[in-house]
Amino acid sequence: MIPYGRQSISEDDIKAVVDVLRGDYLTTGPAVGAFEAALAESVGARHAIACSNGTAALHLASLAIGLEPGDQVIVPSISFVATANGPRLVGAEIVFADVDPDSALLTPAALEDAISRADPQRLKAVFVVHMGGNPAPMAEISAIARARGLKVIEDACHALGTEAEDGRPWRVGDCAFSDCAVFSFHPVKTITTGEGGAITTNDDGLARRMRLERNHGLEREREGFGNEALAFDTDGATNPWYYELTRLGLNYRLTDFQAALGTTQLSRLPDFLRRRRALTARYREAFARLNDDSLSLVPAPASSDPALHLMVALVDFDRLGISRAKFMNRLRDKGVGTQVHYIPIHRQPYYVKASPTPELPGADRYYARCLSLPLYPDMTEADVDKVVEAVRAVAQG
């Protein structure tokens, strides 16, 4: 069976984890800082804050930008539910935006429409998803948001390594057009730490707040202490055991052995990106030869060099006269695993009640046709050919 996604683990990855397991620190040790420094350098941001998973990263970002109960944020409806859940966990109301029906990306027009449905006094932020690894039009989105004083958060969980040009070259995670960018390191993502996530930012204040929030809200820096009688020795030195609870925080820490895996995975990132781009090119060439209007691949935005996490086919199941479930089952019988990314979040029962939303035709149109095909670095060209041949055979009945 060819799965839709899979981690790639090398002997160097294994050795890095074992070295930490044999060392002194399994958590709150030096490996986390090393991983954060490597990630920040890789994407071109000033700070990287590692945490336990991508959902935690979205929650931390929501806390750091100061979202409070009753605030509103805009979230595109096509994403994993965590994109909405992060701000919702701090009490924000979600205003769902439509997306382009072929790329599932938030567009400037869809953002303007969502803004028109929001309360201008309560609207605080826009969460932008780089769906599948394709970059959203960040320069235009950022300009619209900044003109209204809105914070911009990139959900970049699919897009490590993606580059684009919007008036200037930029890289997902460098925060050229945003306040911060959020990553996931789940096993099917571009690199993995098993579970894990991170936020990148160029804002010193946001970075400091996120580091506090991920570790219970505990202040350990001298300049942040408020109780001098408890904090300092008679000579004015800081008591070595001392900390202060400055705000209610969470335990969202990443372990050192996860961070060690992340660092070696980052060292392999250039190879991962080359492989994903080569496999993407193979898929595009093979689909072009099918010459079937019922079958296509999600297009890449102009002036972009995406590092795709998902290889999404757009399939006209109605035209083919077959349900998506039957299509997927027949592919599985041929040894090809697939998945659907994603059910529109505004259609989820929780959000139907919490955030009633008008029709979003782009999101519904995309969802009706999307099917994620296998894509991961250890695939071969022969695997791609097998997948495309299986798709052709099932489509032709």
Same domain, 31 and 179: yes
Question: Does residue 117 belong to any structural domain of this protein?
Answer: yes
Question: Does residue 248 belong to any structural domain of this protein?
Answer: yes
Is residue 247 over pLDDT 90? no
pLDDT at 67: 98
| CATH at residue 354 | 3.90.1150.10
Same domain, 176 and 314: no
Residue 307: C-alpha distances to residues 67, 78, 253, 342 (Å):
31, 19, 27, 19
pLDDT at 392: 98
Cα 151 to its chain centre, rounded Å, is 17
> Any residues with CB less than 8 A from the CB of 365 and at least 6 apart, and which?
101
326 is catalytic: no
**Distance between CA atoms of 159 and 83, rounded to whole angstroms?**
14
Same domain, 302 and 226: no
Question: Does residue 152 belong to any structural domain of this protein?
Answer: yes
Is residue 352 over pLDDT 90? yes
Same domain, 290 and 261: no
Mean of the per-residue pLDDT values of the chain: 97
Torsion-angle region of 267 (φ positive above 0: left; ψ -120 to 50: alpha; else: beta): alpha
| CATH at residue 122 | 3.40.640.10
Question: Does residue 5 belong to any structural domain of this protein?
Answer: no
Q: What is the pLDDT of residues 162-185, one digit of tens each?
A: 999 988 899 999 999 999 999 999
pLDDT at 256: 98
Same domain, 235 and 275: no
Provide the token pair at 356.
Answer: 């009633």
pLDDT band of residue 314 (cuts 50, 70, 90) is very high
Same domain, 135 and 165: yes
Same domain, 206 and 333: no
Same domain, 81 and 173: yes
- pTM > 0.85: yes or no: yes
Question: Does residue 1 belong to any structural domain of this protein?
Answer: no
Which of the following is catalytic: 15, 124, 151, 189?
189
pLDDT at 167: 85
Single residue among 222, 246, 267 that ends a domain in this structure: 267
Same domain, 203 and 305: no
Question: Does residue 22 belong to any structural domain of this protein?
Answer: yes
Long-range contacts of range 120-124, CB-CB < 8 Å, 24 or more positions apart? 120/148, 122/70, 122/71, 122/72, 122/93, 123/71, 123/72, 123/73, 123/74, 123/95, 123/148, 123/150, 124/65, 124/66, 124/67, 124/71, 124/72, 124/73, 124/92, 124/150, 124/151
Total number of domains in the chain: 2
Is residue 223 over pLDDT 90? no
Using alpha carbons, select from 375, 72, 53, 28 the residue that is nearest to residue 182.
Answer: 53
Task: Provide mean pLDDT across the span 17-26.
Answer: 98
Task: Provide mean pLDDT across the span 28-52.
Answer: 98
Secondary structure letter of residue 223 according to DSSP:
G
Using alpha carbons, select from 244, 232, 253 the residue that is nearest to residue 36.
Answer: 253
Q: How does DSSP assign 233-250, residue by residue?
A: -TTSPBPTT--EE-S---
Same domain, 262 and 276: no
Using alpha carbons, select from 134, 184, 186 the residue that is nearest to residue 300.
Answer: 134
Same domain, 242 and 326: no
| Residue 124: CB atoms within 10 Å | 22
Provide the token pair at 376.
Answer: 């991961």
Backbone angles phi, psi at 15, to 5 degrees: -60, -40
Q: What is the pLDDT of residues 81-122, one digit of tens each?
A: 999 999 999 999 999 999 999 999 999 999 999 999 999 999
Question: Does residue 203 belong to any structural domain of this protein?
Answer: yes
Secondary structure letter of residue 106 according to DSSP:
-
Q: What percent of the chain has pLDDT over 70?
A: 100
Question: Does residue 2 belong to any structural domain of this protein?
Answer: no
Same domain, 317 and 383: yes
Task: Provide mean pLDDT across the span 342-360.
Answer: 98
Give the least confident one: 206-215, 224-233, 340-349, 365-374: 224-233
Give the least confident one: 190-199, 240-249, 329-338: 240-249
pLDDT band of residue 252 (cuts 50, 70, 90) is very high
Single residue among 239, 267, 295 that ends a domain in this structure: 267
Task: Provide mean pLDDT across the span 325-339.
Answer: 98
pLDDT at 139: 97
pLDDT at 210: 97
Amino acid identity for residue 358 in this structure: P
The runs of H, that is alpha helices, within the chain are 11-21, 30-43, 54-64, 82-88, 108-116, 138-147, 204-214, 228-231, 256-267, 269-290, 317-320, 324-333, 349-354, 361-369, 381-395
Single residue among 242, 267, 292 that ends a domain in this structure: 267
**Distance between CA atoms of 97 and 359, rounded to whole angstroms?**
10
Range of the domain at 28: 11-267
Task: Provide mean pLDDT across the span 360-380.
Answer: 98
